[in-house]
Structure formats: C-alpha cells, structure tokens
Amino acid sequence: MNRTITQEETEQLFQFCRRHYVYHYDVQIELVDHLASSIEEQWKQNPELSFDEGLKNAFKKFGIYGFSKIKKQKERELKRKYNRLLWKYLVKFYRWPKVITTFVSTLGLFLLFQVIEKSIWIIGSFMLLLFIGVILYHFLIFKKAKLEAIPGKSFLLVDQYSRVTQTYSVIAQLPNISFQTFNILGLKSIENIWILLGLSFFMVALTVFLYGQFFYVPQKIKEHFLEQFAEFAL
C-alpha cells in the first residue's frame, strides 16, 4: 500500500507555505496540493524517505522564486478570468435584445447634444453624475456588501474583490479632465455630428462598463468565493 500524506503533515505543509511568505489561503491550497503530490510520488519510489526530506526535494523543484511566481501567476489568472467575465457582460449590451436599450440610450444622448448648444455642459454634467454615483456606491453599497473573510485568513479572491476601488481615483478625475480638455481646445461646443455620435456611444458604453465593474464583477467574485470558501466568509 502506497504511503500518503496525513492530516498532520498537511498542516505542516500549510505552515511551510506561510513561512515562505505565501499568506493567501487559496494560493496555499494549490501549493500544498503540489507539494503533497510530489512527496507521495517520491514515496512510491522510496517508501523509507522521510517527510522532511521529501518536502525539501519537492521545494527544490520550485526554485528560489518558485512560490512567488505561482502567486503572481494565480493573480494574473484571476485578473484575466474576471476581465473576461466583464467583457462578456459588456458584449451582451450590444447584442439582441439588450442592444435596443443601448441603441435608444445612445440615440437619446445624441439628440440631447443637438438640442443643447453647449456640449461641455452635457459632458461635464455626465462626468459629475458618475463621480457622485461612485461616491454613493462606495459608502452606501460597497462598504455594506463588502466581501470579508474571518480574521486570520487572507484570500486572493477577497483582494480581487477589493480592487474595484482602484477605479475610483480615475472616475474622480473625469470631470476635471473633461473641462480641462475643452479649455485647452478653446471649445464650448462640438458641432461635428460624427464626434457627437462617438461621444454618445462612448458615454453609454462607459456607463455600462462601470455598472459591470462595480456590480456585476464583484457579485461574481462573491459567488465564487462562497462556493469555494463559504466557511471562511463573515
């Protein structure tokens, strides 16, 4: 009968990961699985090999920066995964039947540009509304619905959830950027219909993107976390 990793040895592997600066539990699980498989594979060849010696041999395969590389790889995988989810969400608004809502919104905004002479006020008001919306979202929604793990446990998924706040600083600058651009160009209004149509398309697309970034993606991350680590959620 082949020798297998015991529960006590599994805990030692988790401690080993923590000693090597891997603090995210979801990354630790993956590393522990790799290490345990490697040790058990060695035991098939040499059943008398000690656990410590097997662990030392297994760790050598990762190299000096092996653990940090796996952590970065995991971060990239998560980022790509949720970027793909966001992209799929955005594309839905330009496919039937949601494209009707997107088209009507874009057309309505374009007609508004035709009615109001000073385009700067429409663009500035839109950016200001986005800024106010982000502030309200942060204090009234995000903080209350925040994903948190029990004390003593760190998760890469939780960090990914919290990263939506990184968009705040960009949104906060949009009203200022808009007015500065108009001032530099010496414009108060835009008369070219193609530019106005492009602006209308961009403003609607930006709204859809931000809704997906602040509501859809965080909800998906939360669902995935609860599916995998429900016992660690607060």
- Structure confidence by residue, pLDDT tens digits, 72-100: 888 889 889 999 999 999 999 999 999 99
d(CA 79, CA 73): 10
**Quick check: 188 pLDDT over 80?**
no
Of 88-92, 148-152, 177-181, 223-227, which range is least confident?
Answer: 177-181
Task: Show me where the domains of the chain are located.
Answer: 7-63, 72-232
- Structure confidence by residue, pLDDT tens digits, 15-42: 999 988 888 999 999 899 999 999 999 9
Higher pLDDT, 132 or 65: 132
Separation in Å, CA 167 to CA 24, 37, 86, 172, 214: 23, 40, 14, 9, 9
**Quick check: 182 pLDDT over 70?**
no
